[in-house]
Structure 1
Amino acid sequence: MPRFSANLSMLFSELPLLERFRAAKQAGFAAVEIQFPYALTAESIQQTLQAHDLKLVLFNVAADDLLQGGEGLAAVPEKQDRFKVAVAQALAYAKVLKPDCINVLPGRCLNAGRLAEYEKTFRHNLRYAADVFAEIGVTTVFEAINSRDMPGFIVDGSAKMLSIWHELNHPQLRLQYDIYHMSRMGEDCAAFLSQHIDKIAHIQFADCPGRGQPGSGTLDFAALFGLIAALPYDGWVGAEYKPGPCTADGLAWMKTPRASEAAAL
């Protein structure tokens, strides 16, 4: 059955970050993920995880100004030294927190004339990160983000993800597949999961088009969760959506037999 993790950067955001761990445990999650954990010390996160018997399965390498509308870090040629510093920071956190995966966000190119240069830089930096994290047994992942929400994102579809993955051919590099982002791009998520599950180390989801909880949009999550359960996939499935004012009130999707059984694993 799928194993569900709560993305604490989005879920339970009505609470301070350290209080979200307890809320996730009380809601039935066995694992959590954080987009960028660096506002807290790794030690304080680890203590909180232990206090609530939770596993942290994923976090991102710092992405500079990406969420503020900038180009980010991993693809910008002039920021390669800063990217290495961010990888070192993520490595230090990983040594304490022992995640399954660390995500490298490709970022944007806001000057179309430099796109090829940015793509080359990203491939170089992604290989560098995969080499570093492989030393401690952590899988590096990267994801595509839809270019409607984030114009200029250099990896905005499944075909681009696959091309990079095949080109790098790194034993510790896998895909992070986001059902919401690929649905926004009009892709057939069920078909991709069925064909490429062996390349995926982490899955995330939100409903489409509003990025809300399952049931708020058009996606058939009963079918998608059922498919994931039937596939040879042992990674986590991260709830990374925009909840209502009270996250706990929007967790009916976990009450289905499949979901509630998976969350308890």
Structure 2
Amino acid sequence: MPRFAANLSMMYNEVPFMERFARAAADGFVGVEYLFPYDFEAEKIKEQLNENGLCQALFNAPPGDWAKGERGIASLPGREKEFRASIEKALHYAKVLDCKTIHIMSGNRVPLMLRDHQLSILKNNIALACDMALQGGVTIVLEPINLRSMPEYFLNRQDEAQAIVRELNRTNLAVQFDFFHCQIGEGDVTTRLMRDLPTIGHIQIASVPERHEPDAGELNYPWIFEKLDQIGYGGWVGCEYIPAGETSAGLGWFAPWKAGQKR
């Protein structure tokens, strides 16, 4: 049975961030994820995890200046020192939160820079991050993001991310497979899932095209969830969607899976 993690950056926005852990636990989730934890002390977040019996499934490394439009710095020239410091910070949070997976955003395309040059920067930085994370047992994941959602994002296709994983050949490097992004950017999601399953380290879901609850839109998620069981996927399924209304009221889709959730 898939293990679902509530994404606390998108879900339960009816209450402040630190109150969302209790809401997620009350609704039957045993894991949580979110974009960035860095506005809060790691120890305070850990208290919420412990108090509510939750597992930290995933979070993102620092993305650079989000307010100014940066979406990661891993592929940006001249930011290598800052990148290393960002991974050190992320690994500190991962240790405190007992989180074994960190997503590193690649960053936006650099105008006038050859793609191969920017790709080389990305690979060098990801290799460094994997080496830094290895001792703590942390896996680094890369996520292709569709160009409708982030028109300037550098990494957009599953095969691009998989090629990086194969070339770097790190045991703690995998791909984050987001059904929403894959369906919009590429389609044929089940074929891609089956092709890449051995190097998929985390999965995320949302309806397409609205990015709401996974019980509407053009993807048949009940069938997908059964397929994940059939193929033996044992990782987390992150619910990275924007509720169409009040979060708990929209969890009808979760009811068939709620009783079987395990950390």
TM-score normalised by length of structure 1: 0.95
Per-residue deviation, 1:66: 4.6
Contact 1:28/1:264 (8 A) holds in 2: no
Q: Structure 1 residues 63-72 or 19-28, which shifts more? A: 63-72
Paired position in structure 1 for 2:238: 238
Q: Percent identity?
A: 35
Structure 1, unmatched stretches of 5+, are none
Q: Does 1:34 align with 2:34?
A: yes
Q: CA RMSD for the aligned pairs? A: 1.5
Per-residue deviation, residues 92-145 of structure 1 (Å, max 9, x unmatched)? 111111112011111111415342222111111111111111110111111100
Is the Cα–Cα contact under 8 Å of residues 76 and 110 in structure 2 kept in the other structure? no
TM-superposed CA distance for 1:194, in Å, is 1.7
Displacement after TM superposition at 1:67 (Å): 6.5
Which 4+ runs in 1 deviate beyond 6 A?
Answer: none
Structure 1 residue 108 corresponds to structure 2 residue 108 = yes
Aligned residue-pair number: 263
Q: Deviations over 1:181-216 (max 9, x none)?
A: 001113211112222211111100111111111123
Q: Cα distance 1:229–1:15, how it changes in 2: closer, same or farther (>3 A)? A: same
> Structure 1, residues 56-114: CA drift from partner, whole Å, max 9, x if none?
11111100135653353111012111111100101111111111201111111141534
Does the 8 Å contact 1:95/1:136 carry over to 2? yes
Aligned position for 2:213: 213
- 1:136-175 → structure 2 map (5 Å cutoff): 136-175=136-175
Shift of 1:262: 3.9
Match of 1:254 in 2: 254
Q: Which residue of 1 aligns with 2:261?
A: 263
Shift of 1:219: 0.9
Tell whether the 8 Å contact from 1:14 to 1:245 is kept in structure 2 after alignment: no
Q: For structure 1, which segment, 10-19 or 190-199, has the greater mean C-alpha deviation from structure 2 after superposition?
A: 190-199
| Stretch of structure 1 that moved more, 184-193 or 73-82 | 184-193
Q: 1:11 to 1:68 in 2, by over 3 A?
A: farther
Alignment of 1:1-265 (within 5 A): 1-66=1-66, 68-70=68-70, 72-256=72-256, 259-263=257-261
Q: 1:218 to 1:92 in 2, by over 3 A?
A: same
- SS state at 1:113 partner: coil
